[in-house]
């Protein structure tokens, strides 16, 4: 077996790993290989660019006499005793003596062969955290190897790589070390475009995988070291080049020219709307109209705060496309939201002679077939639904415009699928994405070089501002009293409960595609929401109290929503399934229980469900003590402002940029090393260098993208 890399001959305590390494020589994909495929570690270069999360120092030994409890140290000594403890949990206990002290090594999972080989008299090197245990000083599951009295210490720090289940660290280290030794790492960026203090790529990589023990670990771990700067720059450059290429490619694509006609559908729709467009809506409609008239596909993000009226803007754009004889698709991230859009659009458009089809995953086979036929024949001019709208069986007769609501909620996989769908037609459709989560300016301008942005920056008139009150949950009985008064007056109330976990599957798929190890999701805990529902049903006898959460069957969800929308239910106890898009103007009171558990932007989205009618609305945030500092800041921000952009700014302040740019932000998660906010200087430089390289060194630019993004380059365009 090849013995490359600092830890190649390093037997870890999980010896299952090393057995599998030997098996790797056979052609069948072993479990660790499959895990590596999943992480996107396929080519040598992928392995070389898989950088350590942190390091372990195996370059020195600590005497047990000098080591303190709580310290992670490497010690070396002779085994003095070795036994299996059967009382309590079965475990292997190895007593190690280094001449200055003793330590017990405890293994809860072990092989019989380990007990045999770690026999008394054998010299062991063990690395782990020292602590004081029941039987004395101990290390639980240390990394252990058998050594002789002259086995050299590691020459460099030992890398610890991001990994996933089924991929042991020891296996991965070996794979990375050999990938690194084989990967072609010639310089592709002309040196005059890089600062002189940055190392060459090859040197930077070798250094980051195996740094010498003298280096300041902080500079490695906070990524400020010049080697890290070089790597982050490389990554950003790949991203910029691919964005610029995507933009250039788009300029060559052909899309239908869509122009509003006099007395056409758009005008007729405007005439039947029960309101006037705001100036901001008119402005963005104009921007969209300009795009639609061009023979290249539109690629535009429409952002506007919760309740700013994005749906009608989308409908007006759809009207233009349909008038020109093209189909439109509107896709929403949840069934509840899609259903609302469907109802609203049917209400507006069917009287004008438009047939609207409905597609979701929960449709019965027969109904689905009918809808699919209507779409394929072109009989349905508009299709509304969840991501079922872009599935393979869906054939559009003539798709001219795709509208994606709350686009940041869709996973990368779905954005990619949409892209394929769009590309499959001869003329590429126009694309309008909508989001209530504002993209920070810097991000919109630099990172998303391939996206136009329109912003609705005012709310429709006549909205009464929402008053937000923050109470300790000891005030809950008063709040229930208040609800009784409200519903007696005919108002409607949302009561929102947190749920341990209610993310949709799309996120997990996105995680996997983005090469992140997806965490196993904890089981859903519905006790909170069902209990509250029970309690409110009793306290408000005589009034309808509904229950809504993500695990209800689609038909039941739709039914509950319809009964709340019609006013039959006075109170809706719900989880965050109502976070996006739910629109019941008569609802004027919202209570959010355990508000401290929600993120700021989520609270803002939720609160946006009220304040949609003419009545003054109230949002009550109930919290359980004690509040964390950031919890306090979030609730304070909620009480102080209702402006979505201000909320986004505060969110950034409270959480820090890294988290804000989290997985849901427009594919930003595809950046592994660079941070768009922290590394703004690098972003700007990458943008300049990308332009120069595309102009003067197009081949090198292309190879750079292939090196960095490989199969992932597709995702960046999604």
Q: Binding of ligand ADP at residue 303 (CB under 6 A)? A: no
What angle is formed at CA 249 by the lines to CA 420 and CA 255, rounded to 5 degrees?
A: 65
Cβ-closest position to ligand ADP: 309
Residue 275 binds: one of Mg ion, ligand ADP, none (C-beta under 5 to 8 A by kind)? ligand ADP
Q: Binding of Mg ion at residue 438 (CB under 5 A)? A: no
Taken in order 77, 78, 81, 87, the sign of the CA dihedral is positive
Q: Residues 6, 48, 312, 487: which binds ligand ADP (CB under 6 A)?
A: 312
Q: Binding of ligand ADP at residue 275 (CB under 6 A)? A: yes
Taken in order 670, 456, 642, 463, the sign of the CA dihedral is negative
Q: Binding of ligand ADP at residue 243 (CB under 6 A)? A: no
Q: Binding of ligand ADP at residue 436 (CB under 6 A)? A: yes
Q: Binding of ligand ADP at residue 77 (CB under 6 A)? A: no
Which of 324, 329, 323, 325 minimizes the C-alpha distance to 341?
329
Q: Least distance to ligand ADP from the beta carbon of 608, Å? A: 6
Give yes or no for a contact between 144 and 122, defined as CB atoms under 8 angstroms apart. Answer: no
Helix count (H) and strand count (E) of the chain?
26, 22
Size, binding site for ligand ADP by CB under 6 A: 18
Residue 304 binds: one of Mg ion, ligand ADP, none (C-beta under 5 to 8 A by kind)? ligand ADP
Q: Residues 5, 52, 199, 304: which binds ligand ADP (CB under 6 A)?
A: 304
- Does residue 597 have a cis peptide bond before it, meaning omega lies within 30 degrees of 0? no
Nearer to ligand ADP, 236 or 582 (CB): 582
Q: Least distance to Mg ion from the beta carbon of 605, Å? A: 10
Which of 523, 524, 547, 521 minimizes the C-alpha distance to 534?
547
Q: Residues 13, 242, 281, 371: which binds ligand ADP (CB under 6 A)?
A: 281
Q: Least distance to Mg ion from the beta carbon of 314, Å? A: 9
Going by their DSSP bridges, the two strands 131-133 and 136-140 should be labelled as: antiparallel
CB atoms within 10 A of CB 259: 12
Q: Least distance to ligand ADP from the beta carbon of 410, Å? A: 16
Report the distance separating Cα 593 and Cα 619, nearest Å: 11
Please identify, among the stretches 33-41, 52-60, 276-284, 372-380, the one whose residues bind ligand ADP according to the rule CB under 6 A: 276-284
Residue 267 binds: one of ligand ADP, Mg ion, none (C-beta under 5 to 8 A by kind)? none
**Which pairs count as long-range contacts for 223-226, CB under 8 Å and 24+ apart, including other chains?**
223/673, 226/197, 226/198, 226/199
Q: Binding of Mg ion at residue 581 (CB under 5 A)? A: yes
Give yes or no for a contact between 285 and 316, defined as CB atoms under 8 angstroms apart. Answer: yes
Q: Binding of Mg ion at residue 17 (CB under 5 A)? A: no
Size, binding site for Mg ion by CB under 5 A: 1
Rounded to whole angstroms, what are the CA distances from 613 to 577, 610, 618?
Answer: 21, 8, 12
Q: Residues 343, 421, 612, 712: which binds ligand ADP (CB under 6 A)?
A: 612
Q: Binding of ligand ADP at residue 457 (CB under 6 A)? A: no
Q: Binding of ligand ADP at residue 347 (CB under 6 A)? A: no
Q: Among residue numbers 133 through 192, which ones bind ligand ADP (CB under 6 A)?
A: none
Nearer to Mg ion, 220 or 404 (CB): 404
Please identify, among the stretches 306-314, 351-359, 372-380, 696-704, the one whose residues bind ligand ADP according to the rule CB under 6 A: 306-314
What number of CA atoms fall less than 13 Å from residue 617's CA on the CB side? Answer: 26
Nearer to ligand ADP, 165 or 273 (CB): 273
Residue 576 binds: one of ligand ADP, Mg ion, none (C-beta under 5 to 8 A by kind)? none
Phi, psi of 602 (to 5 degrees): -70, -40
Q: Binding of ligand ADP at residue 306 (CB under 6 A)? A: yes
Cβ-closest position to Mg ion: 581
Q: Binding of ligand ADP at residue 409 (CB under 6 A)? A: no
Residue the block writes with tokens 């290429």: 245
> What is residue 327's three-state secondary structure?
strand
Report the distance separating Cα 489 and Cα 486, nearest Å: 5
Burial class of residue 681 (count of CB atoms within 10 Å of its CB; 0-12, 13-18, 19+): exposed
Q: Binding of ligand ADP at residue 309 (CB under 6 A)? A: yes
Report the distance separating Cα 421 and Cα 410, nearest Å: 15
Q: Binding of ligand ADP at residue 385 (CB under 6 A)? A: no
Q: Binding of ligand ADP at residue 278 (CB under 6 A)? A: yes
Q: Residues 7, 62, 243, 311: which binds ligand ADP (CB under 6 A)?
A: 311
Could you list the beta-strand ranges (E) of 349-459.
Answer: 356-359, 382-385, 399-404, 430-435, 452-456
Total number of residues shown for the chain:
718
Q: Binding of ligand ADP at residue 644 (CB under 6 A)? A: no
Report the distance separating Cα 636 and Cα 540, nearest Å: 30
Report the distance separating Cα 404 and Cα 407, nearest Å: 6
Q: Binding of ligand ADP at residue 330 (CB under 6 A)? A: no
Rounded to whole angstroms, what are the CA distances from 355 to 146, 378, 521?
Answer: 75, 10, 40
Q: Least distance to ligand ADP from the beta carbon of 603, Å? A: 15
Q: Binding of Mg ion at residue 608 (CB under 5 A)? A: no
Q: Among residue numbers 545 through 604, which ones bind ligand ADP (CB under 6 A)?
A: 583, 585
Which of 405, 439, 403 minimizes the C-alpha distance to 292?
403
Q: Least distance to ligand ADP from the beta carbon of 669, Å? A: 25
Q: Binding of ligand ADP at residue 284 (CB under 6 A)? A: no
Q: Binding of Mg ion at residue 333 (CB under 5 A)? A: no
Q: What is the CA radius of gyration of the chain?
A: 30
Q: Which residues here bind Mg ion, judged by CB under 5 A?
A: 581
Q: Which residues here bind ligand ADP, judged by CB under 6 A?
A: 275-278, 281, 304, 306-312, 436, 460, 583, 585, 612
């Amino acid at each position: 077996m090849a013995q490359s890399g600092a830890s190649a001959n390093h037997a870890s305590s999980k010896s299952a790993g090393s057995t599998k390494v030997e098996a790797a020589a056979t052609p069948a994909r072993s479990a660790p290989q499959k895990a590596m495929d999943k992480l996107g570690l396929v080519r040598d270069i992928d392995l070389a660019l898989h950088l350590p999360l942190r390091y372990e120092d195996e370059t020195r030994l600590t005497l047990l006499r000098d080591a303190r409890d709580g310290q992670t140290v490497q010690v070396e000594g002779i085994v003095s005793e070795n036994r299996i403890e059967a009382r309590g949990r079965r475990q292997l206990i190895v007593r190690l003596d280094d001449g200055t002290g003793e330590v017990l090594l405890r293994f809860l999972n072990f092989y019989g062969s380990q007990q045999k080989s770690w026999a008394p008299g054998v010299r062991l090197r063990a690395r782990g955290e020292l602590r004081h245990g029941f039987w004395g000083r101990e290390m639980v599951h240390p990394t252990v190897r058998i050594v002789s009295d002259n086995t050299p210490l590691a020459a460099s720090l030992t890398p610890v790589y991001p990994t996933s289940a089924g991929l042991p660290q020891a296996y991965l280290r070996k794979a990375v070390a050999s990938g690194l030794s084989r990967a072609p790492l010639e310089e592709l960026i002309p040196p005059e475009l890089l600062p002189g203090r940055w190392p060459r790529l090859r040197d930077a990589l070798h250094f980051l995988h195996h740094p010498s023990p003298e280096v300041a670990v902080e500079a490695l771990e906070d990524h400020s070291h010049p080697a890290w700067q070089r790597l982050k720059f490389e990554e950003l450059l790949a991203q910029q080049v691919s964005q610029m290429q995507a933009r250039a490619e788009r300029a060559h694509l052909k899309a239908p020219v869509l122009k509003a006609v006099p007395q056409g559908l758009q005008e007729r729709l405007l005439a039947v709307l029960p309101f006037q467009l705001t100036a901001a809506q008119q402005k963005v409609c104009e921007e969209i109209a300009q795009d639609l008239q061009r023979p290249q596909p539109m690629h535009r993000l429409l952002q506007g705060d919760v309740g700013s009226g994005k749906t009608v803007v989308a409908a007006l754009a759809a009207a233009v496309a349909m008038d020109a004889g093209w189909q439109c698709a509107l896709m929403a991230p949840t069934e509840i939201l899609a259903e609302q859009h469907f109802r609203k659009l049917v209400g507006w458009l069917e009287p004008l002679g438009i047939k609207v089809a409905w597609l979701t995953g929960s449709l019965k086979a027969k109904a689905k077939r009918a809808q699919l036929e209507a779409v394929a024949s072109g009989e349905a001019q508009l299709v509304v639904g969840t991501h079922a709208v872009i599935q393979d069986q869906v054939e559009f007769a003539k798709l001219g415009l795709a509208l994606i609501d709350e686009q940041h909620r869709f996973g990368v996989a779905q954005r990619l699928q949409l892209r394929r769908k769009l590309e499959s037609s001869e003329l590429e459709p126009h694309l309008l994405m909508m989001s209530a989560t504002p993209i920070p300016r810097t991000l919109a301008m630099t990172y998303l070089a391939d996206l136009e942005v329109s912003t609705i920056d005012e709310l429709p008139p006549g909205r009464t501002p929402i008053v937000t009150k923050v109470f300790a949950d000891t005030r809950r009985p008063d709040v229930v009293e208040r609800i009784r008064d409200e519903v007696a007056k005919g108002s409607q109330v949302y009561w929102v409960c947190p749920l341990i976990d209610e993310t949709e599957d799309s996120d997990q798929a996105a995680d996997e595609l983005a090469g992140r190890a997806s965490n196993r999701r904890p089981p859903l805990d519905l006790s909170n929401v069902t209990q509250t529902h029970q309690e409110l049903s009793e306290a408000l006898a005589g009034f309808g109290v509904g229950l809504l959460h993500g695990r209800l069957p689609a038909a039941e969800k739709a039914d509950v929503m319809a009964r709340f929308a019609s006013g039959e239910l006075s109170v809706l106890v719900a989880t965050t399934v109502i976070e996006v898009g739910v629109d019941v103007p008569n609802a004027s009171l919202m209570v959010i229980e355990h508000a401290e558990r929600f993120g700021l932007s989520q609270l803002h989205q939720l609160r946006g469900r009220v304040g949609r009618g003419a009545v003054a609305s109230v949002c009550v945030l109930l919290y359980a003590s004690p509040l964390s500092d950031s919890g306090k800041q979030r609730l304070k921000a909620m009480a102080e402002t209702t402006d979505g952009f201000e909320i986004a700014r505060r969110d950034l302040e409270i959480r820090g940029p890294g988290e804000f740019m989290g997985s849901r932000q427009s594919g930003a998660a595809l950046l592994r090393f660079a941070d768009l906010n922290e590394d703004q200087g690098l972003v700007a430089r990458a943008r300049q260098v990308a332009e120069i390289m595309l102009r003067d060194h197009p081949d090198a630019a292309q190879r750079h993208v292939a090196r960095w993004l490989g199969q992932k380059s597709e995702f960046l365009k999604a």
